[in-house]
């Protein structure tokens, strides 16, 4: 037998969908990277509860914050801003400051995302496909944001526009099914079987 190659690296991230309209989020940084983080956060969750602290803000960041009701705090970052937060995003152009934010977050058992520094991220903000009730999150394990972007574009094209109506119909049907949990699962699996078959026929 030939020598075995190294084990393929796995993506061990566990995807979750956060109700960020019920969480307190801090973003540190008012420049371009901070704006991008804020933009994608609001694009997915328009009612997210966010405060941004920075010495200055891009005009477009001020406009975005006003549109979504985010609080902008002008000044230097201080650890007190982490009080009563659920997670923090550091997105400044100062690597030392970003690392300090991470250290402060860890002492408080807060989740942190340090922009462009995968080793200092407890979570990644991946590509997101959103069509009504259907939301798909895409992760490349922090390896390639460009690949995540292309996959997002692919799924946006292939997911039908009427998927939201389908989900609504299935939800209404599920509410009217009689029987125990297993019986409901069996019936839902039965009526959605055609979706799986259709996917196979498209291969």
Helices 32-44 and 59-68 pack at an angle, to 10 degrees, of: 20
Cβ-based burial of 134 (10 A; exposed 0-12, middle 13-18, buried ≥19): middle
Q: Which residue has the higher pLDDT, 30 or 201?
A: 30
Q: Does domain 20-125 have CATH number 3.90.198.10?
A: no
Domain limits, the chain: 20-125, 162-191
Q: Is the per-residue pLDDT at 161 higher than 90?
A: no
Within 88-176, where are the H helices? 95-107, 145-158, 163-176
Instruction: Give the number of other CB atoms < 10 A from CB of residue 45.
Output: 21
Contact 27, 91 (CB under 8 A): yes
Residue 85: Cβ-neighbour burial (10 angstroms; 0-12, 13-18, 19+): middle
Can you tell me the mean pLDDT for 28-34? 97
Q: Is the pLDDT of residue 203 over 50?
A: no
């Amino acid at each position: 037998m030939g020598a075995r190659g190294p084990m393929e690296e796995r993506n061990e991230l566990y995807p979750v969908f956060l109700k960020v309209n019920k969480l307190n989020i801090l973003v540190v940084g008012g420049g371009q990277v901070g704006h991008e983080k804020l933009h994608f956060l609001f694009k997915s969750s328009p009612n997210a509860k966010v405060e941004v602290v920075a010495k200055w803000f891009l005009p477009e960041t001020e406009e975005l914050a006003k549109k979504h009701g985010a609080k902008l705090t002008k000044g230097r970052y201080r650890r007190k801003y982490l009080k009563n937060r659920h997670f923090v995003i550091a997105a400044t152009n100062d690597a030392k400051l970003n690392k300090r934010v991470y250290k402060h977050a860890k002492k408080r058992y807060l989740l942190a995302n340090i922009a462009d520094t995968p080793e200092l991220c407890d979570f990644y903000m991946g590509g997101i496909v959103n069509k009504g009730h259907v939301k798909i999150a895409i992760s490349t394990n922090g390896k390639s944001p460009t690949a995540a972007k292309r996959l997002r574009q692919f799924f946006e094209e292939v997911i039908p526009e009427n998927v939201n109506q389908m989900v609504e119909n299935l939800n209404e049907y599920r509410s009217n099914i009689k029987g125990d949990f297993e019986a409901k699962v069996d019936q839902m699996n039965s009526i959605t079987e055609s979706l799986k078959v259709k996917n196979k026929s498209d291969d």
